[in-house]
Structure 1
């Protein structure tokens, strides 16, 4: 089976898609809107030397400050806060600020005031530095008089692990 595809012209094909979506709002006796042709105007050459482009959108490197707080609440509010992870404070409640720090870089207000947020620049400081250059963990060396005694095999999967208490929380 052969399929022939005819080229689309401006009168047929997709021309109906370019009509106004709100053409049904125009009165029926109104004359059709005149077609306008766009003509490209030559751009005048600037008299002054080329200006530097405006500052591109700089990323926001400012800190987002949060306060670690200590609030004394009633036992009922404490129960709700423990269950939901939040609670509503009453108006006029005094809150003691324990610490003010940046939510991103987790550094105290006093240390980084006036500096850019390190977490928005490079977040490596939160994971202990560059992982490729960080020293590996050292295996502790047993004392001289210690003797290593091999133990039995611990079953960590299956019903034996459950019965043995390996995969279930202690009571």
Structure 2
């Protein structure tokens, strides 16, 4: 029943616009009548109701419940701290240089040995560059490669 009244009010609203546009009514009157009827139509048929096929009673639509996924074993492992692990992995070596990729591989190996989860490479590089600044380890960039100078990896 509400659907019928809503459709009628919207039809009256369209009619008011037509009368105003074709000069039968003044424009301000057509706009006012149109807004009145369309507002009544939307007030009668709220957008959150879905009307059943027999128009007997509205059904409120609800979103499906969100179920959390079970935690994977990897996410339950503690994250390996770059500042805590890397000073143990790197050793001073005058005149040597290593690529940051080798430092990351050593970091991943140290994390596996300790049972911690390694941070992804995209997070490792800025953390390692910050750590190098704190430990006075010089870095060098050549194209895509970043090198750590005067250090070597402990095995």
Q: How high is the TM-score relative to the length of structure 2?
A: 0.19
Q: How high is the TM-score relative to the length of structure 1?
A: 0.18
Higher relative contact order (CA 8 A, sep 6+): 2
Greater fraction of residues in helix: 2
